[in-house]
Amino acid sequence: MADSIFETGQLAKLVLTAYRNNNFTEKDTDAGEYTTMFNPSSISVKLQIDRDDSQANGSTSSEMRFKMIKPQDYSIDFIIDGIKPVNGGKKEVPDEVQKLLKVVYTYKSDEHRPNYVMVRFGSVLLKCVLKTINITYNLFSPNAKPLRAKVSCIFTSCIDQELSELINSKNSPDLTHKRIVREGDKLISMANKIYRNNDYYIDVARKNGLNNFRKQEAGTEIFFPPLKKSNP
C-alpha cells in the first residue's frame, strides 16, 4: 500500500516554491514562491505501475510482467479571487496568474527548462515538476477584466537520477521505502528502523539532498533506497 502524503498538521496555505535543481537545494530567488489565496478545493494522487503487456503469438492474454513504478502525479485545484479582500486588499487576478506561472511554468533560458517546484500544504511536502496547468476564467467585470479564475495543476514527482535508478533497481532484493517525517522523528532512528543498522543515515541524507541530517521538518518526504549487496 502506498504511503499517504497526508499527515496531521496545522492549517496552512498552499505554497509553491521554485528551485533550480532537482536536489531542491538551490531556490530560484527570481521566481520566488507563490502562496494561494485560499486552501485547495481538491488534491488527488495518481499512482502508476508500468507493465509489459506484450503477447506471445497466438495468445489471447499477457502475463503483464512488472517493469517499473512510474512517478506519482499530483492534481491540485484552487481558486484565485479578485473580489474578496485578502489581508486588507483585493488581488488582481491577471497579476496573480503571472506570479504563479513565473514559479511553475515560465521557461528558464539559462537552464533550458522551467523550474523544479516544491509544494507545501500544512505537513504535506512534494518535490515535483509541472506537467499541465489549466486556468479557467469564470467571472469578469463589465469591461471584461478577469475577476476570478480556477486553476487546475498536475505535478509529477521528481527526484535525482541516481536515486531514481536505485528505486527502480532490478538487481536489489530490497524494496525502496518512502517515509514522511513526523514531529520528533530523527533520520538516524528512521534509517536504523528500516536497515537495522546505524551506519546508513549519512548515505540516506546524501541521496535525498539533505543538508542537515540531525533535524528534519515534519512533513518532509524521505526515500530510503535499496542497499547495494556486496559479493561474498
What pLDDT sits at residue 6? 53
Tally of CB atoms within 10 A around 186: 14
Name every residue whose Cβ is closer than 8 Å to that of residue 177 and which is 6 or more positions away in sequence.
194, 223, 224
Q: Which domains are present in the chain?
A: 14-52+64-158 (2.40.30), 162-224 (3.10.350.10)
Task: Tell me the longest C-alpha to C-alpha distance in the chain.
Answer: 77
- Is residue 16 within 8 A of residue 119, CB to CB? The reply is yes
Output the nine-digit C-alpha cell for 137: 476564467
The one-letter amino acid at 209? G
Please list, in sequence order, all residues whose beta carbon lies within 8 angstroms of the beta carbon of residue 65, skipping any fewer than 6 positions away.
Answer: 51, 52
Whole-Å CA distances, 75 to 8, 33, 46, 78, 207: 20, 19, 8, 10, 26
What is the reported pLDDT for 171? 47
pTM of the model: 0.63
One pLDDT digit (tens) per residue for the chain, 232 residues: 344 555 544 457 899 999 998 888 899 999 999 999 988 988 888 888 888 777 666 666 667 777 777 788 999 999 999 998 777 678 999 999 999 999 999 998 888 899 999 998 876 788 899 999 999 999 999 999 999 999 999 999 886 554 444 445 544 444 457 788 888 888 888 888 877 777 788 888 877 877 777 777 787 888 887 765 443 3
Q: Distance between CA atoms of 47 and 69, rounded to whole angstroms?
A: 8
What does the pLDDT read at residue 36?
93
Q: Which long-range contacts (CB under 8 A, 24 or more apart) does 134-143 make?
A: 135/97, 137/93, 139/83
Provide the 8-state DSSP code for 21.
S
Helix (H) or strand (E) segment spanning residue 144: none
pLDDT of residue 78: 95
Q: What is the DSSP letter of 108?
A: B
